[in-house]
């Protein structure tokens, strides 16, 4: 998602919930949909702990910034947002008494971030989440919080996946669902999720962490080993979201293809998808982040053919050259990847397919780059994200030889980006004449003409383009509209409502 400035964050509490005498708090969320779930868990804990949630960080006593620590640009955005939030503090003439960093950047760097960024009053790690309300109260009261020393969270869980379910380690976004104002917990402490966005789509976390060892990725070290949520908890949270006006459930994790392996059944996702799609009020279920090497035929068929589950395949290819993929500690080649896409389209010819690729990885030759480009041409994907390689702290790739200089990485990235922009636009044009169902998410004004903005089934939230329709029939946010694609603008579609 796009970075939000503290003064007007999108991902904040929708309304004030309690009296004005309570300490107020604003949540500012950066990064991915998984972070959005974590923010809503924190918001629920804070509200249950006696804080009043507000939309505008400038009107809050405390500002909590849920940071992203994935790549260098995301880290910079997080630091900039914390500095902007610090400008809202009382010593600058604002209202805020404390600015607190949470999230991936905070967990990844801990005390080092606290020392290098004194503008933040505290840096809290994942283990602080269960007691977030108490932590914030003590910080506002002037107590000093000692930031944690970062450690590899993979070492805090049992090696065997099946032994992880009983862990008491804090795993963000894995709490059971209850709702504020509808009674207390049945037995023992339960997490509270508080929606911060009133839109018709909501992310729903399947799992956290990752057991893969991709040489370029630091996420497993600070997010930990892979831990699935129990199906009963996922379904309960899905049902609760259905009562909150959510019409599309967006299933998120670091690796959805591994769901259930630590619960003794790798096919749990296939069996759970029909139950999620049957939830009252929910019209769509969308699965994100599939590992190609783990994407089995049964899962492809379930996603492509289960009523209510959109045929959408978010496949993390990362590259196509077998030599580069081996150095990434991944598996695959153009033939196996194209075979996977052929399986997908045999079940659902109009399926949406997106992926990400890394360009300029250490040791990438010109032949490797050509292999990648040839694959992208043959793959006919709807959207491809292109990232230029950069070293990440603590990763194996940062120590590899064969590094390309920054100018060469930039040139290759620009070349591949231009290619995928053309290919994705051509793929969109292939959809002209196609019947789609558009989930209405907003209204926009285009040169004085009101338009409805939404997403067709092949378009994932925020990253896969938009479908626009003329606002001629009073459509409302949350409506699911049958439409015919009549034109394109890049990856965006222009459509007419079918009445």
Cβ atoms of residues 141 and 134 within 8 Å = no
Look at residue 11 and tell me if it is in a domain: no
Q: What is the CATH number of the domain that holds 269?
A: 3.80.30.20
409 phi and psi angles, rounded to 5 deg: -60, -45
Q: Are residues 257 and 321 in the same domain?
A: yes
pLDDT of 11-44, one tens digit each? 333 344 445 578 999 999 998 999 999 999 999 9
Summarize pLDDT for 464-477 with one digit per residue, the tens: 999 999 876 788 99
The reported pLDDT for the residue numbered 165 is 63
- 205 within domain boundaries: yes
| Residue 11: per-residue pLDDT | 36
Does the annotation list 32 as a binding residue? Answer: yes
Is the residue at 10 inside a domain?
no
The domain boundary residue, chosen from 407, 430, 453: 430
CA distance linking residue 237 with residue 311, whole number of Å: 22
Count of domains for the chain? 3
Q: What is the pLDDT of residue 189?
A: 40
Q: Could you tell me if 395 and 218 are in contact, meaning their C-beta atoms sit under 8 angstroms apart?
A: yes
Q: Residue 183 has what pLDDT?
A: 35
**210 marked as binding residue:** yes
Q: Is residue 229 one of the residues assigned to a domain?
A: yes
Q: How far apart are CA 207 and CA 253, in angstroms?
A: 5
Rounded to 5 degrees, what are φ and ψ at 109?
-115, -20
pLDDT of residue 7: 35
What pLDDT is stored for residue 214 in this prediction?
A: 96
In a domain, 462, yes or no: yes
Judge whether 373 is annotated as a binding position. no
**C-alpha to C-alpha distances, 398 to 91, 96, 215, 332, nearest whole angstrom:** 41, 39, 8, 22
CA dist 139 to 7, 142, 193, 449, Å? 21, 5, 23, 49
The pLDDT of residue 14: 33
> One digit per residue, pLDDT tens: the chain, 499 residues?
333 333 333 333 334 444 557 899 999 999 899 999 999 999 999 999 999 999 999 999 999 999 998 777 888 999 999 999 999 888 888 898 999 999 999 999 999 999 999 999 999 999 999 999 999 999 999 999 999 999 888 887 776 776 766 666 777 877 654 443 333 333 334 447 899 988 999 999 999 999 999 999 999 999 999 999 999 999 999 999 999 999 999 999 999 999 999 999 999 999 999 999 999 999 999 999 999 999 999 999 999 999 999 999 999 999 999 999 999 999 999 999 999 999 999 999 999 999 999 999 999 999 999 999 999 999 999 999 999 999 999 999 999 999 999 999 999 999 999 999 999 999 999 999 999 999 999 988 777 788 899 999 999 998 899 999 987 678 899 999 999 999 999 999 999 999 8
> Is 214 annotated among the ligand-binding residues?
yes
Name residue, tokens 């994790």: 253
* Shared-domain flag, residues 338 and 321: yes
Task: Quote the pLDDT of residue 1.
Answer: 32
* Containing structural domain, residue 477: 434-497
Residue 1 belongs to a domain: no
Specify if 340 maps to a domain. yes
């Amino acid at each position: 998602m796009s970075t939000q400035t503290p003064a007007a964050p999108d991902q904040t509490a929708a309304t004030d919930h309690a009296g004005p005498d309570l300490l107020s708090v604003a949540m500012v969320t950066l990064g991915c949909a998984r972070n959005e779930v974590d923010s809503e868990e924190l918001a629920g804990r804070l509200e249950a702990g006696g804080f009043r949630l507000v939309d505008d960080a400038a009107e809050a006593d405390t500002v909590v910034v849920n940071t992203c620590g994935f790549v260098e640009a995301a880290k910079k955005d997080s630091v900039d947002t914390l500095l902007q939030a610090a400008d809202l503090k009382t010593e600058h003439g604002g209202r805020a008494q404390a600015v607190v960093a949470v999230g991936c950047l905070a967990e990844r760097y801990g005390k080092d971030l606290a020392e290098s960024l004194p503008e933040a009053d505290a840096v809290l790690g994942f283990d602080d989440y269960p007691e977030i309300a108490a932590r914030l109260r003590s910080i506002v009261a002037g107590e000093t919080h000692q930031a944690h020393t970062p450690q590899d969270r993979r070492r805090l869980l049992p090696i065997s996946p099946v032994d992880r379910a009983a862990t008491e380690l804090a795993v963000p976004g894995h709490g059971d669902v209850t709702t504020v104002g509808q009674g207390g917990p049945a037995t023992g402490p339960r997490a509270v999720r508080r929606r911060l966005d009133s839109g018709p789509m909501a992310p729903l976390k399947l799992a956290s962490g990752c057991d893969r060892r991709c040489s370029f990725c630091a996420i497993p070290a600070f997010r930990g080993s892979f831990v699935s949520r129990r199906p009963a908890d996922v379904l309960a949270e899905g049902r609760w979201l259905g009562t909150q006006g959510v019409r599309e459930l967006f299933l998120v994790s670091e690796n959805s293809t591994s769901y259930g392996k630590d619960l003794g059944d790798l096919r749990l996702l296939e069996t759970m998808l029909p139950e999620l799609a049957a939830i009252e009020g929910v019209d769509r279920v969308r699965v994100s982040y599939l590992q190609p090497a783990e994407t089995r035929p049964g899962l492809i068929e379930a996603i492509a053919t289960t009523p209510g589950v959109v045929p959408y395949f978010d496949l993390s290819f990362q590259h196509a050259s077998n030599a580069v993929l081996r150095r990434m500690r991944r598996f695959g080649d153009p033939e196996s990847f194209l075979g996977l896409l052929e399986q997908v389209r045999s079940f659902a010819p109009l399926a949406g397919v997106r992926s990400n690729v890394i360009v300029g990885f250490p040791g990438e030759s010109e032949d490797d780059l050509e292999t990648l480009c040839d694959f992208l041409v043959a793959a006919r994907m709807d959207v491809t994200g292109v990232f230029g390689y950069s070293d990440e702290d603590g990763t194996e790739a940062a120590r590899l030889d064969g590094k390309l200089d920054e100018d060469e990485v930039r040139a290759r990235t620009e070349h591949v980006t231009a290619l995928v922009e053309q290919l994705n636009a051509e793929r969109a044009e292939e959809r002209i004449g196609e019947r789609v169902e558009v989930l209405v998410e907003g209204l926009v004004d285009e040169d004085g003409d009101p338009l409805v903005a939404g997403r067709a089934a092949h378009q994932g939230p925020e990253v896969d383009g938009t479908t626009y329709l003329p606002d001629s029939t009073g459509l409302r946010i949350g409506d699911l509209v049958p439409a015919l694609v009549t034109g394109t603008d890049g990856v965006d579609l222009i459509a007419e409502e079918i009445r």
